[in-house]
Structure 1
Amino acid sequence: MTSADPAGEGFRTFLVLRTGGPEASAAALDTLHTEVAHRISRLDGFLSCRTHLGLDGDVVVHTVGWRDEASARGTYPATTLGEALLARLGRQVMLRTDLVGGAPGPGVRGPASAMPPGLACVAIRYVADRAAGEAMADLLLRSGDWKKDFPGFVSATPYLGPDGTTYVNYPQWTDRAAFDAYMADPRNAAGQQDIADLEVAPPDLLLCTLVAETVAAS
């Protein structure tokens, strides 16, 4: 089954925080929790957000769904947030911050689409231009025939950056067992070369657990 985002999302940002390790990530998570509760969740155009922790404990991903790109650009100074985290926690804790984002394309929903994800991957891929990004999104759609029935698969939504050179796929699974089975399926391996052919640089593949989720008040 393919679908657009059900919440009317028009744009999504992914703020990637690379830390010095688990203790540093815990400090970043605490700071983000405060920022979400007191500021981010009250911004105009905010729909929802999630905070993810990388499996190795040295990456935190804060992703926000927005009504549209203007809301993301006009009310959410993610660069400033990253700088504030650096200032508050220090370079020893926060080694680097990166921000990517894009408009959602039609995605794939699995049989577990109503369940919260136990595991997610923020797959940031770099392509030459918008045509290559759209071709990569088409590869995801064409793989939907088997993913829509795969046990434990929640969903995957592609996001193409405003300049067309950054493509983010955001697949989710119910748990590690579902992810491992998915990765071991030969149908998944069969599509990897087509993806690699469209890339101009190595991807950033961030496998994460879900730490927190906030939805805008209705």
Structure 2
Amino acid sequence: MPLITPDDHYLTLFNVFETETPELQDEVLEAMRDIVDNADYPGWISSTLHAGVDSPGTANFIQWRSAADLQARYEGQKFQQKTVPLFHKLSRTVRQLKTELAFSQHHPALRGPIEFSPDRDDHTVLIVLDTRPEDQRELLDTLAVPDEWIKTVPGYRSHTYFRGLDGTFVVNYAQWESKEHYDAFHTLPEEQRPADVRAGRDRARALVTGRQANAYRVTRSRSAATG
């Protein structure tokens, strides 16, 4: 089972695709499963497929040993001539987001590192926050801080911030007990949030130039260690 652990220092790649229909989402997932089930690339650690819940789309959470290992995969002839054209054909938008872990927190009732797999029932939310390179550091400093209040919010399990390596975005990968719990948190009136949380959210909004979000359920996971 893949884990989110700061000590691993993996390069984390998010392949985030939006599709026009649920049927195209299923086609993307099928193509991804074939790749994941046959993955045997130097430096590849794990791949975890996510199916869109709120809107059609997919996300593949991939851990690599290094950026050099990922680049070798990208330069492969099959990847360039077959994989890339297929996913662009099936998807409305394609984003390949190279990141490193910047901050992680989980509910105190959860023991050990953060886990993600189809064996769990997490309602997973993935949010990509676009920003200017000169503002990325401040955006992370604003958002990626210990939050004691959220630990008291019903249904909260974990959240992790990843820094985009090109400096233009931040990714929030969060786990909740259910869609109902997350939606209640997301739509909570601002005046019902603590003052420091409201101040941080206000500052973050000023630093964000674009936002892409969807909720997912994990459908397939495989790692090099377990096959």
Instruction: Compute the TM-score of the two structures, normalised by the length of structure 2.
Output: 0.77
Counterpart of 2:18 in structure 1 is: 18
Structure 1 position 173, deviation (Å)? 1.2
Aligned length: 209
The AA in structure 1 aligned to 2:214 is: L
Percent identity, please. Answer: 21
Please give the residue correspondences for 1:43-192 in structure 2 after superposition, counting only pairs within 5 Å.
Answer: 43-76=41-74, 81=79, 84-85=82-83, 87-88=85-86, 91=89, 93-111=90-108, 113=110, 116=120, 118-129=122-133, 131-185=134-188, 186-187=192-193, 190=198, 191-192=200-201
Task: Kindly indicate whether residue 222 of structure 2 is the aligned counterpart of residue 214 of structure 1.
Answer: yes
Q: Structure 2, unaligned stretches of length 5 or more?
A: none
Structure 1 position 148, deviation (Å)? 3.6
Structure 1 position 139, deviation (Å)? 2.3
Check the 8 A contact 2:10/2:64 in 1, yes or no.
yes
Check the 8 A contact 1:158/1:170 in 2, yes or no.
yes
Matched residue of 2:225: which SS?
coil
**C-alpha offsets along residues 42-75 of structure 1, whole Å, 9 cap, x if unaligned?**
2222222211122245211112022233333333
The AA in structure 2 aligned to 1:120 is: T
Moved over 6 A (4+): none
Superposed CA RMSD in Å reads 2.9
Bigger CA drift: 108-117 or 23-32? 108-117
Distance (whole Å) between structure 2 residues aligned to residue 158 and residue 95 of structure 1 = 25
Matched residue of 2:92: which SS?
strand
Instruction: Compute the TM-score of the two structures, normalised by the length of structure 1.
Output: 0.80
